[in-house]
Amino acid sequence: MLPSNQSSLNYTDEIGKLAGSFMTMRQNLRELISQLAEKSNQTNDLANTMSQSTSQVSEASSSTAATIMQIAANSDNVAERAQEVAVKARESADLADHGAQNMQQMTAQMNSIATASQDAVAAAHRLNATSTRINQILSVIGNIADQTNLLALNAAIEAARAGEHGRGFAVVADEVRKLAEESAQSTKEISNLINGIQVEILEIVSKMESTSQEAVKGSEIVQVTSTSFVQIHDAVNGVSSQVEDMASATQEISSGVQNIAAAVEEQTATLEEVNSNIEILASVSDDLQGMVKKFKL
């Protein structure tokens, strides 16, 4: 065992110098081993701290990756549902468009009915005017028949006064009177028929005017309904477009989330590799501490 203190050596020869150098070297080695032990302890502590930190980060990354994958799955579900809603919206828009077309056809039909009713009313008014004119003509004919009857009666009276010479003329006057009476009777019957026809025409005119008014109202209602269908169609198309945009955006989000999840998984794998290297470093540090403890100076 060498002396622990250099002052105990009193040699001045070569051996003494060698012993002094050896003592200096032993002191330097002792300081080096002490520093090495301290650094080894610090390295071991740092390795433990880093191991704990990387473990926590790895666990957090794994949890984050799972959450992100769940978000991606939910985003896919939202996108799928949005696509279904968009399909239904397009179907609704098609139905609304079909309804609007039907309403337009109904509007055209109602307008045709109103026009036909108005034409029928105009024709009925013309027929009524014609009937009135016929009645006026019949009235004139009736007056002529009455005058003819009166003239025939006067002629018969004059023929009777003429005696035998007026007998032939009396027969003719009597026939004329009969024809006048028949004409007057026929004129009255025709006038009565025309009056009846005029009453029926007025009833028809009233009904046709009512039908025309109802057709106009129906056309207005159908037009309003058609406009509503068009507005529904436009609104549903707007909703469909927005839903499709939302579905597209959701798919982009899902794709981005999946990329993030892949990056997190890669980070987790890297952290696991780092943690493995830290464990190796800790093992080396432990071995180094064991070796340092074996030194006895």
Q: What is the pLDDT of residues 61-120, one digit of tens each?
A: 667 767 777 777 777 777 777 777 777 777 777 777 777 787 778 778 778 877 877 888
DSSP code string of 31-61:
HHHHHHHHHHHHHHHHHHHHHHHHHHHHHHH
Six-digit token string for 70: 């769940």
- Entry pTM: 0.46
Q: What is the pLDDT of residues 134-179, one digit of tens each?
A: 888 888 888 888 888 888 888 778 778 777 766 677 777 778 878 8
Tokens 């890669």 sit at which residue?
266
Q: Give the C-alpha separation, 30 to 292, whole Å.
A: 10
Instruction: Give the single-character DSSP code of 275.
Output: H
Question: How many domains does the structure of the chain reveal?
Answer: 1
Six-digit token string for 187: 């004129």
Q: Give the C-alpha separation, 287 to 273, whole Å.
A: 21
CATH number for the domain including 286? Answer: 1.10.287
Six-digit token string for 160: 């009777």
Q: What is the pLDDT of residues 45-63, one digit of tens each?
A: 766 776 666 666 667 666 7
Whether residue 274 contacts residue 33, with contact meaning beta carbons closer than 8 Å, is answered with no
Q: Does residue 2 lie in a domain region?
A: no
Range of the domain at 278: 9-294
What's the pLDDT score for residue 13?
Answer: 67
Dihedral sign, Cα of residue 281, residue 283, residue 285, residue 287:
negative
Q: What is the pLDDT of residues 26-40, one digit of tens each?
A: 777 777 777 766 766
Whether residue 34 contacts residue 258, with contact meaning beta carbons closer than 8 Å, is answered with no
What's the pLDDT score for residue 40?
Answer: 66
Q: Does residue 3 lie in a domain region?
A: no
